[in-house]
């Protein structure tokens, strides 16, 4: 048992040191922040940003990915998915959902839900409060989500999405329903409502 603990400790040290070397997390200060030269948002507090160029998303968190996160996806083109099949966070078990620029607003909502279930981020997801929404004067949609992860923890959040030049721009906020959602959802909503395309 002691040998296994030592091995796990070494693996943890190697993982943490590799994170530092690649600078996977950077501190995000308050102000108008550029995100990957795609758009900018107005931030009023301190967050940590996860960034790796090989992934098609960037996320912000305060206390950690499982406690609250805002996920910003890079533009999704035809025949692409929200999550790469080779992402560190993804366990591929079947063909991933694919985006089509001819999708209507309801199909985009279903595409998002299918991607979340496929990626195993949540094993159950429901959506409600679906409505039209403008992002930087482009017509889009927003809806609320609630779901459960593999450990049974209930999450709540919301999604904003818009199709611009046939590409899907999508971001979402999610946090555990107990405590963290109530603490951060208003701030996250304010931030995502401030999106400006670059």
Compute the C-alpha angle 197/64/149, nearest 5°. Answer: 95
**SS3 label, residue 108:** helix
Question: 50-54, 66-70, 112-116: lowest mean pLDDT where?
Answer: 50-54
144 strand-pairing partners: 128, 158
Q: Supply the pLDDT for residue 97.
A: 93
Q: Supply the pLDDT for residue 10.
A: 39
Q: Which has the higher per-residue pLDDT, 61 or 14? A: 61
Q: Taking the CB of residue 36, how many other CB atoms lie within 10 A of it?
A: 15
Asked if 133 and 73 count as a contact pair (C-beta separation under 8 A), the reply is: no
CA distance linking residue 60 with residue 105, whole number of Å: 26
Percent of residues, the chain, with pLDDT higher than 90: 70
Q: The whole model's pTM is what?
A: 0.83
CA distance linking residue 127 with residue 90, whole number of Å: 22
Is the pLDDT at 18 greater than 50? The verdict is: no
Q: Which has the higher per-residue pLDDT, 8 or 58? A: 58
**SS3 label, residue 119:** helix
**SS3 label, residue 62:** coil
Is the pLDDT at 185 greater than 60? The verdict is: yes
For β-strands 124-135 and 31-35, DSSP reports them as: unpaired
Q: Supply the pLDDT for residue 23.
A: 55
């Amino acid at each position: 048992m002691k040998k296994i603990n030592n091995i796990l400790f070494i693996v943890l040290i190697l993982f943490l040191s590799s994170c530092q070397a690649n600078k996977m997390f950077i501190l995000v200060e308050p102000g108008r922040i550029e995100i990957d030269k795609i758009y900018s948002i107005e931030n009023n507090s301190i967050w940590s940003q996860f960034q790796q160029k090989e992934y098609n998303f960037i996320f912000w968190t305060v206390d950690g990915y499982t406690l609250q996160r805002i996920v910003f996806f890079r533009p999704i083109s035809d025949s692409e998915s929200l999550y790469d099949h080779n992402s560190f966070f993804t366990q591929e078990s079947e063909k991933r959902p694919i985006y089509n620029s001819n999708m209507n607003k309801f199909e985009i909502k279903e595409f998002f839900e299918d991607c979340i279930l496929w990626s195993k981020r949540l094993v159950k997801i429901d959506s409600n409060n679906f409505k039209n929404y403008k992002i930087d004067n482009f017509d889009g949609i927003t809806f609320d989500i609630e779901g459960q992860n593999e450990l049974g923890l209930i999450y709540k959040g919301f999604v904003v999405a818009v199709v611009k030049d046939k590409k899907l721009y999508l971001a979402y906020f999610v946090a555990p329903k107990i405590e963290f959602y109530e603490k951060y959802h208003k701030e996250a909503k304010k931030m995502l409502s401030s999106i400006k395309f670059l």
